[in-house]
Amino acid sequence: MQFQKKITILSASFCRIQLAINVQIPVDYGGLGGKAIYIDTEGSFMVERVYQIAEGCISDIMEYFPCHHDKSSSGQENLQPESFLAGIYYFRICSYTEQIAVINYLEKFLG
């Protein structure tokens, strides 16, 4: 049972990271071109893993949009793993009080 729980946690963490990457796909490539807020209540956010997922996303984009391989194409310069990392606003939450504080802060943060 413990093994299943760890797999579920890892899968959920992967999905959250993938979503934080996907919302940043540039509009030129069919994405939203947005940013992400990642509120980590488990301490499961790993920069190395985010970097790997961003690399995979970029690889997929290049596969689906081969005509954009030219470096002069619009948005190409933003297709770097570091750009995806910079587009994630990370908040580490360790308690209920911190969670409420971050939620209350989000309105100012987004405004």
Give domain limits for the chain: 2-110
pTM of the model: 0.80
The structural architecture, per CATH, of the domain 2-110 is 3-Layer(aba) Sandwich (3.40)
Beta bridge partners of 36: 88
**Cα 92 to Cα 100: distance, rounded to the nearest angstrom:** 12
Burial of 110 (0-12, 13-18, 19+ CB in 10 A): exposed
Mean residue pLDDT across the chain: 87
- Low-confidence spans in the chain with pLDDT less than 70: 1-10, 68-78
**pLDDT > 90 fraction of the chain, expressed in percent and rounded:** 71
- Tracing tokens 């030219």 back to the chain, one arrives at 70
Largest CA distance in the chain: 52
